């Protein structure tokens, strides 16, 4: 009753230690009631079953054994103040055996139930982990990326810190699959995953975004930090991912930094557009003005320029190989500038 009152009054569940103390208090209370009522002639000794069942169902083996040892002593208390004869000793002994037997059965049952519940909980966690893990590379999958993205964007908003993303797409990966088979392609994906795991910091999160696409969330990192890390990834992948000494697999990386006015989807869309623009020209050279590559670049620049870091900037510098083209946006409400790098 005391525990129930505390739970209702404080609005919190009772701890196992409090429950165990209540069980010992119940033993003492029953023993006192039995003495006040005149000993074994009353029915109060039947109440010993309640704390025994409570302790057997709620506690572990060690606590249950200690509780059983305590009740094995307390139940003989009537012999200290009442008549001692063979019938009384026999009744107490039989009751004690029944209490211990029932308590042991209940304890074993609840131990098995707790073990089963623990196994189910572990299996659920493992299933949830597998559902968010790419089996081939060991990195997080697209589902894990979406969940981590939402969490990181919310954290960046709350703490007013930087958040950047790197999206990479493997070059010549289809050629590897066509010439050397999918087993070689799988080895290549695992090598890239190992490179990302090796280079990234502990607080960074890496994911296999698609078939041959990878995404990295960089907490507390701005765009220049992301570009430096992307350059290291490109160099390391080009160094290690060489298939049979013939095909050098590279990776094209696009970076973006979260702006104050952007949603998570807009944040990723900008990086994805940049990646599409980079992958659009296999030779990574500027197309003729008005071509599809330049039109895509202008569209990406316009999306990126809508961030509010700077006021009334009307030009976006697009670095295409060795040439630089200034695109005049001609928009009065443009409030930012973006810088796009091509290797």
Domains of the chain: 2-131 (no CATH), 134-279 (3.30.70.270), 281-343 (no CATH)
Q: What is the DSSP letter of 15?
A: P
CA–CA gap between residue 301 and residue 39 (Å, rounded): 91
CA–CA gap between residue 258 and residue 164 (Å, rounded): 6
CA–CA gap between residue 271 and residue 253 (Å, rounded): 9
Cα distances (angstroms) measured from residue 191 to each of 52, 173, 253: 60, 13, 16
Tokens 């697999």, residue located = 249
Is-contact 203 229, C-beta < 8 A? no
**Please, which residues have CB within 8 angstroms of residue 139's CB and are 6 or more apart in sequence?**
133, 193, 196, 197, 206, 207, 208, 214
Per residue in 231-285, pLDDT (tens digit) is 999 999 988 888 777 778 889 999 999 988 888 989 999 999 999 888 875 444 3
Task: Indicate whether this model's pTM tops 0.85.
Answer: no
Q: Are strands 339-341 and 315-320 parallel, antiparallel or unpaired?
A: parallel
Closest by alpha carbon to 192, among 238, 146, 141, 129?
238
Per residue in 96-154, pLDDT (tens digit) is 999 999 999 998 998 899 899 999 999 988 888 778 888 889 899 999 999 999 999 99
């Amino acid at each position: 009753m005391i525990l129930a009152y505390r739970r209702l009054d404080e609005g919190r569940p009772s701890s196992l230690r409090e429950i165990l103390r209540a069980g010992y208090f119940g033993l003492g209370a029953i023993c006192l009631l039995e003495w006040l009522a005149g000993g074994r002639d009353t029915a109060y000794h039947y109440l010993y079953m309640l704390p025994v069942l409570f302790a057997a169902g709620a506690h572990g083996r060690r606590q249950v054994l200690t509780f059983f040892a305590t009740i094995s002593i307390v139940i003989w208390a009537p012999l200290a103040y009442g008549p001692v004869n063979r019938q009384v000793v026999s009744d107490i002994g039989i009751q004690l055996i029944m209490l211990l037997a029932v308590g042991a059965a209940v304890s074993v049952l609840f131990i098995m139930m707790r073990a089963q519940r623990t196994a189910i909980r572990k299996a659920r966690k493992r299933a949830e982990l597998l559902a968010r893990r790419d089996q081939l590379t060991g990195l997080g999958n697209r589902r894990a990326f979406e969940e981590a993205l939402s969490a990181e964007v919310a954290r960046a908003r709350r703490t007013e810190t930087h958040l950047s993303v790197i999206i990479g797409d493997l070059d010549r990966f289809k050629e590897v699959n066509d010439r050397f088979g999918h087993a070689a392609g799988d080895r290549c994906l695992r090598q890239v995953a190992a490179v990302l795991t090796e280079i990234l910091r502990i607080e960074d999160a890496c994911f296999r975004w698609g078939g041959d696409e990878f995404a990295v969330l960089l907490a507390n990192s701005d765009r220049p930090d992301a570009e430096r890390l992307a350059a290291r990834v490109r160099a390391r992948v080009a160094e290690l991912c060489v298939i049979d000494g013939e095909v050098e697999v590279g990776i094209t990386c696009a970076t973006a930094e979260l702006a104050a006015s952007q949603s998570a989807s807009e944040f990723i869309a900008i990086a994805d557009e940049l990646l599409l623009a980079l992958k659009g020209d296999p030779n990574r050279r500027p197309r003729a003005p008005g071509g599809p590559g330049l039109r895509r670049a202008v569209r990406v620049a316009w999306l990126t320029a809508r961030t509010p870091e700077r006021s009334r900037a009307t030009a976006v510098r697009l670095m295409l190989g060795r040439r630089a083209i200034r695109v005049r946006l001609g928009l009065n409400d443009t409030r930012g500038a973006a810088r796009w790098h091509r290797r």
